[in-house]
């Protein structure tokens, strides 16, 4: 399945399977939208993705 250039919406993206899925999709060049409750965890994930040359918007 080609995911590149697709937009995905991911809930629960700050931990567990949701986080793993979000990181995998970002690695495959999908644009990932995270719906989260814990903003602190979101910032950590954004920093991690920015270090991997992924575009991150918060």
If you search the block for the tokens 């629960």, which residue do you land on? 12
pLDDT value of position 53? 66
CA distance 37 to 57: 16
Residue 18, token pair as written in the block: 């949701």
Give residue 53's region: left, alpha or beta (phi > 0; psi -120 to 50): left
Residues 6+ apart with CB under 8 A from 15: 41
Instruction: Provide the pLDDT for residue 52.
Output: 67
Provide the residue-wise pLDDT of the chain in tens; the chain has 58 residues: 678 788 888 888 788 888 888 888 888 888 888 888 888 888 887 777 666 666 655 5
């Amino acid at each position: 399945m080609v995911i590149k250039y697709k937009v995905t919406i991911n809930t629960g993206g700050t931990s567990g399977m949701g986080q793993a899925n979000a990181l995998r999709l970002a690695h495959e060049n999908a644009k990932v939208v995270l719906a989260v409750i814990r903003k602190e965890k979101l910032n950590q994930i954004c920093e991690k993705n920015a270090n991997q040359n992924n575009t991150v918007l918060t």
